[in-house]
């Protein structure tokens, strides 16, 4: 019995050691951490039961020769040797964890721009749709912006899930590195609610399904605990140059930094059908937390939008139902955009004169998904006449709405502001009357200030270039783990010499679970959030 217990724990060690090393490396967990110890303990005890069965089976092997052979293998001396070999070999698989870098110095070189810097993210702003809309509408606000700036396509990556792409835009590193790979992530209640990613090994989905059935793993919406690399606002912002951030994905609960942040869960409502809406409130949706109460007055609920307001976008007759799914999504997207546009204006109003501002708007993507097939911008798509009558102008009008708001923000930001408007992807027709962005159709890049109107038209830009560009504008070189480059040609009037001379750091370090601010866990609100993502068709 004693021998069996020793061999079983030996076998369990042979499973637990390499698996812990691999899991930690994959999740960039420091080996000498409480989390790593928890994983090891968990794996060891789960491996112990099958190992006991194996060693018992060895003792009861049918032939004498086989039993002797197996028993020989399970001798403590051999096991110890095997464990040593396994541990040494798995150490080679260890991807060296980046140092949890100290914050970079106030700036590496003098910032080429001393005024405000403004990044406006517009989800789903599509290069092809914009081209058609521009030709058809001759919009005044777009013309006003183009007189002052550069306009071009912005290449993106797949998959085009919003949290993944926007976190790539914010951090400048690939999803494998920043850790936000989807709308959802796995949480392990037995491991102090740790969020862990299981490597894509064969059998991964079976394992996860089994763990979920045993209540050992749960699916949760992504949160700021999943973001493993610093977004640009945590690198470049200082007391003397603060940042204001609104709406970015995976920013809840907000982590303390030099600035103000309104997280993606500040605005959360869900349609219950028949014109009823439900709103749950997470706590800690802003940083500093006390800002939440002041900003709450700007939250517009979908049901607060009047019918007349919707009629600015769609053409309904007296007999048309007011509860069409396209209308529901328009109501939701518009109320959310109106809320965030107001917050953006507030923050620009009292924000620093040299601050960095980053705002994110999601309404255009929400509206484009159901309404593009009926849009007059795509007359070649076979759409039912009735839908075309009601929703044919919706996408065009929403583009006009977005550009009027963009212009207003640019004017609000003031004269000496550099502006980048970026989107995560465009749209394309994937089937007869079905538009989506599975194959990474390009988004849009618009830049204003710093001589952007004279930037070369053939400039090639992608989402990886946004963070390096913002870092350059605030006096930092891109780190070596960022695949993109600062778009220096976008702003021909700015000095680029100090950037070329600056030494690039290996990385701006990782952020992990030792984040100072932990929000209380509310399973009900998270369940509703997943349900909302499902009704919007984002997840299955």
Chain positions contacting Zn ion, by CB under 5 A: 365
For residue 431, what are the CA distances in angstroms to 130, 184, 277?
Answer: 20, 27, 32
Of residues 244 and 365, the one with the C-beta less far from Zn ion = 365
From the CB of 434, what's the least distance to Zn ion, in Å?
Answer: 13
Of residues 42 and 268, the one with the C-beta less far from Zn ion = 268
Is 15 in contact with 43 (CB distance < 8 Å)?
yes
Of residues 141 and 365, the one with the C-beta less far from Zn ion = 365
Of residues 150 and 267, the one with the C-beta less far from Zn ion = 267
Structure tokens at 54: 């194996």
Residue number of the CB closest to Zn ion reads: 365
Of residues 166 and 510, the one with the C-beta less far from Zn ion = 166
From the CB of 263, what's the least distance to Zn ion, in Å?
Answer: 20
From the CB of 124, what's the least distance to Zn ion, in Å?
Answer: 5
Report the alpha-carbon distance of residue 510 to residue 226 in Å, rounded: 11
From the CB of 340, what's the least distance to Zn ion, in Å?
Answer: 17
From the CB of 467, what's the least distance to Zn ion, in Å?
Answer: 21
- The label of the residue with tokens 């509703």 reads 528
For residue 52, what are the CA distances in angstroms to 15, 63, 104?
Answer: 13, 20, 51
Element (H, E) at 259: strand 259-262
Report the alpha-carbon distance of residue 287 to residue 112 in Å, rounded: 28
Per residue, what are the HEC states of 411-467?
Answer: HHHCCCEEEEEECCCCCEEEECCEEECCCCCCEEEEEECCCHHHCCCCCCCEHHHHH
Element (H, E) at 90: helix 76-92
Is 158 in contact with 440 (CB distance < 8 Å)?
yes
- The label of the residue with tokens 């396209």 reads 326
Of residues 116 and 425, the one with the C-beta less far from Zn ion = 425
Of residues 298 and 378, the one with the C-beta less far from Zn ion = 378
From the CB of 295, what's the least distance to Zn ion, in Å?
Answer: 26
Provide long-range contacts, Cβ within 8 A and 24+ apart, for 367-370. 367/329, 367/330, 367/333, 367/334, 367/394, 367/395, 367/398, 368/124, 368/126, 368/129, 368/395, 368/398, 368/427, 368/435, 369/124, 369/329, 369/435, 369/436, 369/536, 369/537, 370/325, 370/326, 370/329
From the CB of 158, what's the least distance to Zn ion, in Å?
Answer: 13
Of residues 11 and 533, the one with the C-beta less far from Zn ion = 533
Of residues 365 and 465, the one with the C-beta less far from Zn ion = 365
From the CB of 514, what's the least distance to Zn ion, in Å?
Answer: 33
From the CB of 364, what's the least distance to Zn ion, in Å?
Answer: 9
């Amino acid at each position: 019995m004693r021998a069996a217990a020793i061999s079983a724990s030996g076998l369990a060690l042979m499973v637990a050691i390499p698996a812990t090393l691999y899991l930690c490396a994959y999740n960039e967990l420091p080996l000498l951490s409480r989390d790593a110890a928890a994983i090891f303990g968990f794996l060891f005890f789960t491996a112990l039961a099958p190992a006991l069965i194996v060693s018992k089976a060895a003792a009861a092997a049918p032939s004498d020769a086989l039993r002797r052979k197996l028993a020989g293998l399970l001798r403590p001396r051999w096991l110890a040797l095997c464990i040593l070999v396994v541990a040494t070999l798995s150490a080679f698989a260890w991807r060296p964890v980046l140092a949890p870098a100290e914050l970079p110095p106030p700036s590496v070189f003098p910032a080429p721009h001393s005024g405000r810097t403004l990044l406006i993210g517009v989800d789903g702003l599509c290069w092809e749709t914009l081209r058609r809309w521009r030709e058809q509408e001759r919009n005044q606000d777009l013309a006003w912006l183009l007189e002052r700036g550069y306009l071009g396509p912005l290449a993106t990556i797949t998959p085009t899930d919003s949290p993944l792409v926007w976190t790539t835009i914010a951090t400048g590193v690939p999803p494998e590195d920043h850790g936000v790979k989807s709308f959802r992530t796995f949480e392990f209640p037995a491991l102090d609610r740790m969020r862990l990613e299981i490597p894509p090994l064969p059998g991964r989905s079976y394992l996860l399904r089994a763990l979920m059935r045993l209540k050992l793993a749960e699916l949760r919406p992504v949160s700021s605990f999943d973001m493993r690399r610093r977004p640009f606002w945590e690198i470049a912002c200082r007391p003397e140059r603060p940042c204001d951030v609104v709406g970015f994905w995976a920013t809840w609960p907000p982590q303390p930094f030099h600035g103000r942040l309104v997280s993606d869960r500040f605005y959360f409502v869900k349609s219950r059908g028949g014109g009823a809406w439900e709103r749950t409130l997470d706590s800690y949706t802003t940083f500093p937390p006390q800002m939440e109460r002041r900003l709450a007055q700007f939250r517009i609920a979908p049901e607060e939008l009047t019918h007349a307001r919707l009629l600015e976008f769609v053409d309904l007759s007296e007999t048309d139902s007011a509860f069409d799914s396209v209308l529901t999504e328009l109501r939701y997207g518009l109320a959310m955009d109106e809320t965030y546009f107001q917050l953006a204006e507030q923050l620009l109003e009292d924000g620093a004169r040299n601050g960095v501002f980053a705002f994110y708007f999601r309404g255009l993507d929400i509206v484009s998904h159901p309404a593009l097939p009926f849009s007059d911008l795509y007359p070649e798509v076979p759409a039912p006449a009735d839908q075309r009558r009601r929703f044919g102008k919706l996408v065009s009008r929403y583009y006009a709405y977005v550009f009027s708001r963009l212009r207003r923000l640019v004017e609000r930001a003031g004269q000496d502001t550099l502006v980048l408007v970026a989107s995560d992807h465009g749209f394309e027709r994937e089937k007869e009357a079905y538009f989506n962005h599975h194959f990474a159709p390009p988004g849009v890049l618009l830049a204003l200030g710093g001589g952007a109107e004279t930037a070369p038209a053939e400039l090639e830009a992608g989402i990886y270039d946004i963070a390096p560009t913002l870092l350059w504008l605030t006096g930092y070189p891109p780190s070596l783990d960022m695949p993109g480059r600062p778009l220096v040609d976008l702003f021909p009037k700015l000095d680029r010499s100090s950037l070329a001379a600056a030494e690039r750091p290996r990385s701006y370090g990782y952020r992990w679970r030792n984040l100072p601010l932990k929000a209380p866990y509310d399973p009900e609100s998270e369940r509703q959030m997943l349900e909302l993502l499902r009704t919007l068709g984002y997840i299955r």
